[in-house]
């Protein structure tokens, strides 16, 4: 049994992946308001959600990021976009970032978990010990749970990480705090992300971003050193007036409310024995670039199939693969945040690096052959379906390009691809070739029948 501490997007993604594999698990979380918080879902995360069976619900709940509109008082002084929308292509069906309030993403994931016959237990993790055979955890209701593995997906203040004594390296910028919350106002249109800034320094003063599927705006405003505000509607109204220089903008409601401190930290390691860290428990980011939630979801997606296999070798690859990725993503989000803090003119722009489609594991012991460890793209098939349709589910997928496939075990689905120029070009195929795709959508091996059979045997898939 796998015990998961934390039911944010990371913990829920892991629970869904385990549930669809029939792996016994338990998710515990005493509950916490998520609010809009991490509202940007990157293209790679949308591909994960496609595989997990929630993409339709997520797309129905979300919307593209609205154009930015900057003001000086009541005057519009600039308009632009954070992301230039691009059309879908055969290899990238979800090319644009989608805005979905985090509470809604969590609700969709919980509904999917329920449909798979599982649920979140509204109790917290109090303490735990581990031995060579498993983990013994004590919950906040006094009960004891025995698990094969414990996954700490319990946020930046992670009880799991602190109990393990794993250093959380980096910095907390207490001098750079932000008032954030979900507010309502009748005085701004919902077609733009409204922003006011100091025009000389280009530093943000206040922002109001409309949240799709709601009547809310996400409110953000920097706090002066020593300002410890009461989280009341009056406080938000005061900061709105001060940041905009206007008294005609009314806030009529306040939901989730918080003070955000810039934390840029990463755990020194992601595993200690039978205990693993994922999501914010392993790495926390600035909000710039919308990387934090997405990286946590992909931690869980990397980990689920490895826990299900109960293979020590595969579990060793979790930290080997995800720690370098998290470090790189942390660098991207920090650099974007620094550009905004310095008032650089292009600080609002987001490039290919934030979409997370280029993230890869080329140095992983699981990467074999050309482009090993890189994302396996989509492509149309002759029967009107796509490769993503074939990938969907908990299995490996063996793509046989113009060659017979070797015998495989039940954990591998074979797809025969013959005379398909689009798929061949997408995968760089110029001769009869076999491509083995991992359950998390990355190329494991590319080669001929003999090398592929050897690889399948190595992973007990033959």
Q: What confidence tier does 167 reach under pLDDT thresholds 50, 70, 90?
A: very high
Alpha-helical segments (H) within 342-386: none
Summarize pLDDT for 108-120 with one digit per residue, the tens.
999 999 999 999 9
Summarize pLDDT for 202-255 with one digit per residue, the tens.
678 999 999 999 999 999 999 988 888 999 999 999 999 999 999 999 999 999
Among 176, 193, 228, smallest CA distance to 342 is for 176
Among 235, 213, 219, 212, smallest CA distance to 184 is for 219
pLDDT at position 336 over 60: no
Average pLDDT over residues 129-133: 97
Tell me the residue ranges of DSSP E strands in 148-203: 149-152, 168-184, 193-197
**Per-residue pLDDT at 16:** 98
The answer to whether residues 1 and 95 touch, using CB atoms and an 8 Å cutoff, is no
Summarize pLDDT for 30-68 with one digit per residue, the tens.
998 889 999 999 999 999 999 999 999 999 999 999 999
* Ranges of each domain in the chain: 2-65+95-170+264-354, 171-262, 387-458
Summarize pLDDT for 181-195 with one digit per residue, the tens.
999 999 999 999 999
Q: For helices 102-115 and 9-20, what crossing angle results, to 10°?
A: 20
**Per-residue pLDDT at 287:** 66
User: What is the CATH number assigned to the segment(s) 2-65+95-170+264-354?
Assistant: 3.50.50.60
**Per-residue pLDDT at 354:** 60
The torsion angles phi and psi of 364, rounded to 5 degrees, stand at: -70, 145
> If you count them, how many residues does the chain have?
462
DSSP state letters, 352-408: GGGS-SS---TTSTT-BSTTTTSB----B-TTS-BHHHHH-SSSEEEEEESSPPPP-
**Per-residue pLDDT at 343:** 46
**Per-residue pLDDT at 348:** 41
**Per-residue pLDDT at 34:** 87
Summarize pLDDT for 62-77 with one digit per residue, the tens.
999 999 999 999 999 9
Domain 171-262 belongs in CATH node 3.30.9.40: no
Dist. CA 98–CA 38, nearest whole Å: 11
User: The whole model's pTM is what?
Assistant: 0.93
Dist. CA 295–CA 293, nearest whole Å: 6
The topology (CATH level 3) of 387-458 is Glutaredoxin (3.40.30)
Q: What confidence tier does 347 reach under pLDDT thresholds 50, 70, 90?
A: very low
**Per-residue pLDDT at 346:** 42
Paired tokens of 47: 């591909």
pLDDT at position 200 over 90: no
């Amino acid at each position: 049994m796998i015990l998961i501490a934390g039911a944010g997007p990371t913990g829920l993604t892991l629970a869904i992946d385990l549930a669809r594999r029939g792996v016994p698990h338990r998710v515990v979380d005493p509950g916490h308001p998520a609010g809009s918080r991490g509202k940007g879902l990157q293209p790679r995360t949308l591909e994960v959600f496609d595989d997990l069976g929630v993409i339709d619900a997520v797309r129905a709940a979300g919307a593209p990021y609205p154009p930015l509109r900057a003001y000086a008082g009541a005057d519009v002084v600039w308009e632009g976009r954070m992301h230039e929308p691009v059309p879908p292509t055969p290899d990238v069906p979800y090319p644009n970032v989608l805005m979905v309030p985090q509470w809604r993403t969590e609700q969709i994931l919980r509904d999917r978990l329920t449909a798979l016959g599982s649920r979140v237990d509204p109790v917290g993790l109090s303490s735990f010990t581990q031995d060579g055979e498993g983990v013994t955890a004590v919950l906040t209701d006094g009960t004891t749970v025995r698990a094969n593995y414990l996954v700490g997906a319990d946020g930046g203040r992670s009880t799991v990480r602190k109990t393990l004594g794993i250093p959380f390296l980096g910095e907390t910028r207490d001098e750079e705090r932000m008032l954030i919350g979900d507010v309502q106002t009748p005085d701004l249109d919902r077609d733009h992300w409204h922003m006011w800034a100091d025009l000389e320094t280009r530093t943000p003063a206040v922002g109001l971003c409309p949240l799709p599927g709601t009547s809310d705006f996400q409110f953000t405003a920097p706090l002066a050193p020593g300002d410890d505000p009461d989280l009341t509607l009056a406080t938000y109204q005061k900061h709105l007036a001060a940041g905009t220089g206007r008294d005609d903008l009314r806030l009529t409601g306040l939901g989730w409310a918080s003070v955000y401190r810039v934390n840029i930290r990463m755990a020194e390691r992601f595993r200690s024995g039978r205990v693993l860290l994922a999501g914010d428990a392993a790495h926390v980011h600035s909000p710039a670039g919308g990387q934090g939630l997405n990286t946590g979801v992909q931690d869980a997606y990397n980990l689920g199939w490895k826990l299900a296999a109960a293979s020590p070798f595969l579990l060793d690859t979790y930290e080997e693969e995800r720690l370098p990725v998290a470090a790189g993503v942390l660098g991207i989000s920090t650099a974007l945040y620094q550009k905004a803090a310095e008032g650089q003119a292009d600080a609002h722009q987001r490039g290919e690096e934030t979409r997370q489609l280029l993230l890869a594991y080329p140095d992983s012991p699981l990467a074999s052959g050309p482009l090993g460890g890189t994302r396996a793209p989509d492509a149309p098939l002759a029967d009107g379906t796509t490769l993503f349709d074939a990938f969907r589910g908990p299995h490996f997928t063996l793509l046989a390009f113009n060659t017979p496939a070797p015998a495989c075990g039940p954990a591998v689905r074979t797809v025969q691809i013959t005379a398909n120029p689009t798929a061949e070009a997408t995968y760089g195929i110029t001769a009869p070739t076999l491509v083995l795709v991992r359950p998390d959508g990355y190329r494991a091996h590319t080669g001929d029948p003999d090398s592929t059979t050897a690889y399948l045997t190595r992973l007990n898939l033959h």
